[in-house]
Structures are given as structure tokens and as C-alpha cells.
């Protein structure tokens, strides 16, 4: 294979980028993005993208503001991170991950390949989110939570009605969510609780409990 140098990133004038940031090819950095020291940004990443929302979007809100990426973070190939989000120090954003405006992701966490994080999500430190997970708007994920591949969170009790109030789940510290589980709007998953693979959770789960099945029941 020929040794071709990586193309220079396209960086907006108002962006602030530490001197030692490492760029792959075809990186785009929009206005007001702040990137800390030691960050690695791989090929085809877009940072600081502005949302284009329909008039009826339930995620309308204030202007998103700046995107901030903490020191030592890793942004993998094809990831898109919107304006107004915060990525903590040492966090890894996987290939093709999609992080929407005003999402906050803590330190030393991992967002897996092709996972989506919606607006106004709060994710703590040392969280592990595996591949193809959907984290709906308004979800709160506390520290040290594990979410298995293909899990889905939901927030709309009226399933698309325009006057419906969005209510994301809360995942308390140290809980574990199995592959392919579905969490319905507003549920609370207690500290160190375990939701089995494929479970559909429609009610709160107590601290330390194990729930299985459809609908999920304590075992």
C-alpha cells in the first residue's frame, strides 16, 4: 500500500484545539469546538455538528453551545458529535457512534460502535455502553453502569403524540443491562440491579434485584 499522508483537518476559526491532538483523514471541526490535550481523532469524524430539527421535534431547545472534548479522549472513525455536548477526559467514542446536542458523557467511559446518544442525556464516569445501543433523550445513567449490545431505552409513553411528555429511564450506579433489553419510559433501574438479556422492563427495578422476561419480573 502506498504511504499517503493524512489530509489536514477542516477546522473552524473559532475552534480551540490543543497542540498535541492527533488527527486522522477527513476530519471536520465546526465552530466553537474545544478539544483538550492528548485527544486522538480518527478518520471521517465530524465534531460540533449543528442539529437540523423539524418544527414538531420534541428535542427543540436552546442553542446547543460549544462542544467540549476532555483531555485524552479517543474519537473513533466515523463518529459524529453534535454541538453543545461534553465528552469527559479519557472517554472513548466508538466507530460510527452518534452523540446528539447537550449530551453529557463523563470520564473514562466507553460508547460502543454505532451506538446513539440522544439530546439531554447524562452519562456518568466509568460507564460501558456496548455496540448498537440506543440511549433516548432525557436518560440518566449513573457511574459504573454496563449496557449490553443492542439494548434500547425509550421515553415516549404516547408513542409519537405531539403533546406527549418525554420521560427517559434512570439507570442507577453499578446496574447492568443485558443484550437486547428494552427499558420503557420513566423506569428506574436500581443500584447494582441486573436486567437479563432480552427483558422488557415496564416497572421500576429494586436495588440489587435480578429481572428477567417479557414483561420483566424479579427472580
Residue 32 confidence (pLDDT): 94
Domain count within the chain: 2
**How does pLDDT run across 161-206, given as a tens digit for each residue?**
656 678 999 999 999 999 999 999 999 999 999 999 999 999 999 9
Mark whether 80 and 32 lie in a shared domain: yes
Q: Are residues 92 and 199 in the same domain?
A: no
pLDDT digits (tens, 9 = 90+) for 39-57: 999 999 999 999 886 666 6
pLDDT band of residue 65 (cuts 50, 70, 90) is confident
85 and 156 together in one domain: no
Supply the DSSP string of the chain, one letter for each residue.
---PPPPPPEE-TT-EE-TT-EE-SS-EE-TT-EE-TT-EE-TT-EEEEPP---TT-TT--S-----EE-TT-EE-TT-EEETT-EE-TT-EE-TT-EE-TT-EE-TT-EE-TT-EE-TT-EE-SS-EE-TT-EE-TT-EE-TT-EE-TT-EE--BTTSS-TTPPB---EE-TT-EE-TT-EE-TT-EE-TT-EEPTT-EE-S-B-TT-EEETTTTEE-
Domain assignment present for 161: yes
Which pLDDT does position 1 carry in this prediction?
Answer: 43
Percent of the chain scoring above 70 in pLDDT: 90
Residue 213: domain span: 150-219
Asked if the structure places residue 144 within a domain, the reply is no
Establish if 72 belongs to a structural domain: yes
Q: CATH number for the domain including 170?
A: 2.160.10.10
Rounded to two decimals, the pTM is 0.92
Residue 199 forms part of a structural domain: yes
Q: What's the whole-number mean pLDDT along residues 103-132?
A: 98
* pLDDT at 122 > cutoff 80: yes
Q: What is the mean pLDDT of the chain?
A: 93
Amino acid at each position: 500500500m502506498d504511504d499517503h499522508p493524512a489530509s489536514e483537518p477542516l477546522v473552524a476559526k473559532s475552534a480551540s484545539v490543543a497542540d498535541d491532538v492527533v488527527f486522522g483523514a477527513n476530519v471536520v471541526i465546526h465552530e466553537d469546538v474545544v478539544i483538550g490535550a492528548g485527544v486522538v481523532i480518527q478518520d471521517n469524524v465530524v465534531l460540533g455538528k449543528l442539529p437540523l430539527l423539524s418544527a414538531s421535534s420534541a428535542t427543540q431547545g436552546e442553542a446547543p453551545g460549544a462542544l467540549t472534548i476532555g483531555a485524552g479522549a479517543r474519537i473513533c472513525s466515523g463518529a459524529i458529535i453534535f454541538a453543545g455536548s461534553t465528552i469527559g477526559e479519557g472517554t472513548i467514542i466508538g466507530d460510527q457512534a452518534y452523540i446528539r446536542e447537550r449530551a453529557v458523557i463523563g470520564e473514562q467511559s466507553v460508547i460502543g460502535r454505532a451506538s446513539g446518544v440522544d439530546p439531554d442525556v447524562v452519562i456518568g464516569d466509568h460507564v460501558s455502553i456496548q455496540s448498537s445501543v440506543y440511549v433516548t433523550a432525557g436518560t440518566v445513567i449513573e457511574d459504573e453502569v454496563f449496557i449490553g449490545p443492542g439494548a434500547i431505552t425509550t421515553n415516549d409513553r404516547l408513542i409519537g403524540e405531539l403533546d406527549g411528555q418525554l420521560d427517559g429511564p434512570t439507570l442507577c450506579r453499578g446496574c447492568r443491562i443485558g443484550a437486547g433489553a428494552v427499558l420503557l419510559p420513566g423506569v428506574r433501574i436500581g443500584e447494582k440491579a441486573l436486567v437479563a438479556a432480552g427483558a422488557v422492563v415496564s416497572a421500576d427495578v429494586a436495588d440489587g434485584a435480578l429481572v428477567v422476561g417479557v414483561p420483566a419480573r424479579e427472580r
